[in-house]
Amino acid sequence: MKKDKHQQDVEPDTLCPEYDLSRLAQVGERGKYHKALRKGYTRVVQHKDGTEEITHFRPMPGTVHLDPDVRAYFPDSEAVNAALRELIALIPAKRRTARKQKGQALDPRS
């Protein structure tokens, strides 16, 4: 009878008993840099010849960031837009026109 190939490929557990896995899970901090990344960041690559390549990454204008608890309800941007359009439809028409007129008065392009 042949041995199962999967059983032959599995390595035996080689983790030393002095490693406490429950402590390892507490070491890192989740989301430590998320606020800084929302503002943008700069990447500096130093080449062997001594030159540096600097690239600035900034969020695109109009980018909206959703918190993880809100993001759980929306699979993609189309779902967010559909939900917001339904909410906008609930706002009385009188308030919507007042806001549009106020926005146009503040907009220097108009």
Boundaries of every domain in the chain: 31-106
Rounded distance between C-alpha atoms, residue 79 and residue 70, angstroms: 12
pLDDT, position 81: 93
The parts of the chain modelled with pLDDT lower than 50 are 110
- Note the pLDDT tens digit of each residue in 60-86: 888 888 888 999 999 888 999 999 999
pLDDT, position 55: 93
pLDDT, position 110: 47
Collect all residues with Cβ–Cβ distance below 8 Å to 104 and sequence separation of at least 6: 110
pLDDT, position 64: 84
pTM to 2 decimal places: 0.41
The pair of structure tokens assigned to 90 is 């609930």
pLDDT, position 104: 65
